[in-house]
Amino acid sequence: MSADRPSPGRHRQQRGIVRRVVTWSVIGVLLLGSAWAGVTFYATYREADGEPTPVIVATWMRDNHMGALVAQLENVYYRYIDTPEVGGIPTVSADLSAENDAGADDSDIQPVDPGPPTVPIAAAADSSPVLLGPANPSPRPSTAPMPKPSPYVAPPRPHLSPPPTISSPVTTPQPREGEWQPVASRVDGIPAVYVTRVRADDVHTSYYASVMWIDTLLTKAMLVPGREEPGGPNPYDGALPKSLWPDVLANINGAFRLDDTLGGYYYQGETVKPLVDGKAAAVIYKDGSIQIGKWGRDLKMSKDVEVVRQNLDLIVDKGVSQVSNGADHVIWGATTDKESLAWRAALGQRPDGSIVYVGAPYLSAEGLADVLAGAGVKRAMVLDMNDYWTAGFYFRHKKDGQPLCRYLDPAIQGPCDRFLLPYKRDSFHFLARSLSGT
């Protein structure tokens, strides 16, 4: 029996082989994993549109099914690293006149439209009735001076009025805080875009929420799909057509990546992802009008619908914030929870149909909803969030029609013209509307 027992040396030899196999297997897996990570990260980096490195890394992780880990890392980042100051006053001015006027040499957009006649309507000459017939002598010319014809003056275009001043939660507001100020080029001489800055709460008083109001009688809305998001038809390669640059008044970031919206997307006759009843939706119609509401209750499909972009639940409904103070288990961000003070954006609509956009840093979901409700919004949908993805701009124009871009918030990262040029994510644009509605 003892003669058949393996020797200790043979046992050691076998254990050594197993260890080597396991070690080289682990090394092989690590090398393959590193190669895979390197190749996939390079692909993400190559498709970046100038995003900072942390944004590229987070994008790569989400692309490779690590969204849950990204969420935890972002919560740690906002809770312990990128934390806002408590108290203080903003270093940014709430008076927007200098920002709006810088470098502009023209302030009006005249949309192409046949419109009313451009000649005097009734420049009647001074003459007496003439009796026709052979016995009627030729009338003597009048010696009274001819009246100068007055140029035709069209009546003012129908337009909306900006909301009342937003009340600041701070006891002593800064000069012009919450006051709506006309910005951007005007449409037929009428301001179509107004902006204000106001604190979102009375704790983090060093920061403004920047708010933009858009007159929907003077503008038409347009969604430009990005090169990558939200997928489906991409007729413009992620850029606003250059022929429309002379008419652009404002553009803003779109919604979450489609997989994170909990909703669907429809564009120009194609259902890219099925629409979900009960979810928030921004609907753009073929005439350029826009509506924000709950799909299946406020909004439904019709032959006039051009775009439906859904994103989570309504954050404001019937003029009331839908963000509770407790653990409501409602998602107000694709990854980051509602308590985090992060860059956030939303698009809301007032009862008169006008549009309100909020895009600012250090906002909780509750703070975002409160600002929207303070602007008189009846329904609102959250848009994209976090550094770089939250971005809003408005435009003045030079005399040749070249747009001059303005940051809604000076802390917005990245180029100001990003939504004019080929871009990876979708964006909303608001263009001057002609009298005929086109």
pLDDT at 427: 98
- Half-sphere exposure of residue 223: CA atoms within 13 angstroms, side-chain side: 31
Cα 190 from Cα 59, distance rounded (Å):
41
Phi, psi (degrees; rounded to nearest 5) at 75: -65, -40
Q: Above 70 in pLDDT, residue 364? A: yes
Per-residue pLDDT averaged across 339-351, rounded?
94
3 backbone dihedrals φ, ψ, rounded to 5°: -70, -25
Q: What Rg, from alpha-carbon coordinates, does the chain have?
A: 30
Burial 122-134 (b: 16+ CB within 10 A, else e): eeeeeeeeeeeee
Q: What is the model's pLDDT at position 141?
A: 52
Preceding amide of 8 cis, omega within 30 = no
Instruction: Provide mean pLDDT across the span 221-248.
Output: 96
Two tokens at 311? 């994103």
pLDDT of 26 over the 50 cut: yes
Residues in the chain: 438
Confidence of residue 156 (pLDDT cuts 50, 70, 90): confident
**231, 265 contact by CB (below 8 A):** yes
Domain boundaries of the chain, sorted by first residue = 2-81, 97-108+157-432
Q: What is the pLDDT of residue 152?
A: 58
State pLDDT tens for residues 71-103.
666 667 767 777 889 999 999 999 999 999 887
Residue 381 confidence (pLDDT): 98
Residue whose structure tokens are 């204000």: 196
Q: Looking at the predicted structure, is the pLDDT value of residue 134 above 80?
A: no
pLDDT digit string, tens, across residues 32-75: 666 755 766 656 556 666 666 666 665 666 666 666 665 666 66
Q: Each residue of 391-410: pLDDT tens digit?
A: 999 999 999 999 999 999 99
% residues pLDDT > 90 (the chain): 61
Q: How far apart are alpha carbons 351 and 319 in whole angstroms?
A: 9
DSSP 250: E
pLDDT tens digits for range 288-308:
999 999 999 999 999 999 999
d(C-alpha 95, C-alpha 180), whole Å? 10
pLDDT tens digits along 324-333: 755 455 677 7
Cβ atoms of 360 and 208 within 8 Å: the answer is: yes
**What are the strands of the beta sheet with 219-224, ordered from one edge?**
219-224, 427-432, 248-253, 392-397, 403-407
Q: What is the pTM of this model?
A: 0.80
